[in-house]
Amino acid sequence: MTNHTALPWSEVLSDDKMHTITGDVRIIEAFPIPQLQTERRVWIYLPRGYNEGTRHYPVLYMHDGQNVFNQATSWGSEWGVDETLEQAGINEPALEVIVVAIDHGGDQRNNEYNFTINAEYGFGGKGDAYVSFLAETLKPYIDSSYRTLPEAENTIIGGSSFGAYISLYAAIRYPNLFGRVSGISFVMWHDNGAINQLIQQSVLSPALRIYLSIGELETEKADFNKLAYEHVALVRQTLIAAGVTEDRIRFDVIPDGTHHESTWGPLFIEAHRWLLQQ
């Protein structure tokens, strides 16, 4: 039986690399994912005031956990969510949140972050199992182990690129659990309209609140960048047609924004602040 105990990060990452982790970050090295018959590292960030009182906190679930807190484990660059939230906790305590970041599955990432299969490129199809893990296994564990505000309106799910895509899918699939979506550099070039069809066929939560963004320079290809913008605009319109009011969807176009953590990290706090509004 795997030990679910979350240990201080320094007890788990005990190598000589230069780790860039700030605040109370804990790690479960091998959290079981029965839905995918595997296990994965899970990071848990606790806010500055967590150990000083009895306050219950919203929870933010993030994908690509390797990149959220730590340069040494990242696939290139980190978001710096820990540093950002530590500073926010000083100036804006209302922004304090528990963050649960799940490592991606390496060569399984594109499979797990997509609920349909892209036949041309040969990936996808495990997204439903992955979000079932988040909803049915991980969230109940977090809610029973930490002082959370477990309601949908206090539960954010977010990421970038395919991480943004699977976040929206999770909120559609489990509207009673995930009421806030942070979809940065949201993409849907690969799904032949499947996410829009799902929105049209689903009953969405009236409390759903969604942040979407796209960078002007997501790639070096102007045609792709134009298409990426049009896709996000279409998702927004589809959500509105399905009953989500315009004031509960924010769509930012980021001048000079790229498909990289150097854009996503600084954007995080603005999206986070907006999503925590009721």
Query: What residues contact residue 151 under an 8 Å CB cut-off, 6+ apart?
Result: 179
Query: What's the pLDDT score for residue 3?
Result: 58
All domains of the chain in start order, with CATH: 7-275 (3.40.50.1820)
d(CA 199, CA 7): 39
d(CA 26, CA 28): 7
Q: Residue 14: which pLDDT band, with cuts at 50, 70 and 90?
A: confident
The full DSSP string for the chain is ----PPEEHHHH--SSS-----SEEEEEEEEEETTTTEEEEEEEEE-TTGGGS---B-EEEES-GGGTS-TTTSSS----HHHHHHHHHHH-GGG--EEEEE---GGGHHHHT-SSEETTTTEE--HHHHHHHIIIIIHHHHHHHS-B--SGGGEEEEEETHHHHHHHHHHHH-TTT--EEEEET---TTSTTHHHHHHHHS---TT-EEEEEEEEESSS-HHHHHHHHHHHHHHHHHHHHTT--GGGEEEEEEEEEESSHHHHHHHHHHHHHHHT--
Closest to 82 (Cα-Cα) out of 271, 269, 245: 269
Render pLDDT for 173-231 as a digit per residue (tens, 0 to 9).
999 999 999 999 999 999 999 999 999 999 998 789 999 999 999 999 999 999 999 99
Supply 253's token pair.
């176009």
Render pLDDT for 241-264 as a digit per residue (tens, 0 to 9).
999 999 999 999 999 999 999 999
Query: What's the pLDDT score for residue 1?
Result: 39
Average of per-residue pLDDT across 94-121: 96
d(CA 90, CA 83): 11
- pTM score, whole prediction: 0.97
Percent of the chain residues topping a pLDDT of 90:
93
